[in-house]
Amino acid sequence: MGQIDFDGSNSTVKADIIRGQTGTTVKLGGVLDTDGNYIQTEKGGDLTSASPLVIDTDGDYFDVTGTTNFAAMTVAADRQFTLQFDGALTMTHHATNLDLPGEANITTAAGDVATFQSTGSNTVQCISYTKADGTGVVSAGGGWVELQSVTASDSATVDLETGIGSTYDEYMIKCSKVIPATDATALHCLLKVGGSYVTTGYRYHTTNSDDAATTSKGVVSDSDSQIIIHPNQGNGATENSNTTLYFSSPDATSLKHIYWQGGTRMSTDVNAIGSGNGLYAAGSTAQTGVRFLMSSGNIASGIFTLYGLTKA
């Protein structure tokens, strides 16, 4: 017979609810009476984020360190455990392996806490998710869900791919405080279609106006190697651009459209606004990513965030 310890001098298990004792297994045939004490759970050692995330057996509550994204966990069946995240990473929803609230990916933040139940070996259901800032993990009645965020730091390219598919019909990208490493360069984007970023067959029309001119200017092409978002941007500390882009139904086999509006600082005393529409006409397979790059040099800094609009 095994032992049940309630960590109290008078903790007992009433004999009339114990049945079928075999080896170290104690089976209960009725209500478990802790006699005013509590059933103790334990905090295990920290888990280093990995793909898949391995759930240890030395506790029921774990801190997850690191920022490695994952879409599955390695865990035995019939366990309930709680994770506290110490940083930002993305958990990718999977209907079987990692079933998340709202059937959507979750980007964690430091202090977020989630409880999971393994309904089978390596089959995990998130039964509770509490965000550190108190907001809901799924917006009531639908709304924009953050899927991925990348902070550029002298980056040749910035790729946004997490969550692009059939889960959402509408997507939005926020490009915030983007500064190129090289002066007077253009911000470009490419679309990932059929598994790779294509560099031919783009059509676009960009319209810009600035406070140093009285007329608008346009940049157009009916066959180019990229889509031009902002045709001219300075690289000074205050010469950043802020742009919002949208695209729809990336899993469709029709034309791939993207459209945008935003503003940029061309020099210390010239501000510009711009909008435009671009498309890739040759692809008949799914779009799975958007890449940003400069016409020359790297992206010195900036934050690129991808959102999906929750289906009603």
pLDDT at 84 over 90: yes
CATH fold, domain 144-309, is Jelly Rolls (2.60.120)
pTM: 0.59
pLDDT tens per residue, range 208-222:
888 777 667 788 898
pLDDT in tens, 179-194: 999 999 999 999 999 8
Mean per-residue pLDDT of the chain = 87
Out of 104-108, 167-171, 180-184, give the one with best mean pLDDT. Answer: 180-184
* Tens digits of residue pLDDT in 232-279: 899 999 899 999 999 998 988 888 999 999 988 777 667 888 899 999
Per-domain boundaries in the chain = 1-40, 47-130, 144-309
Token pair belonging to 196: 């790779």
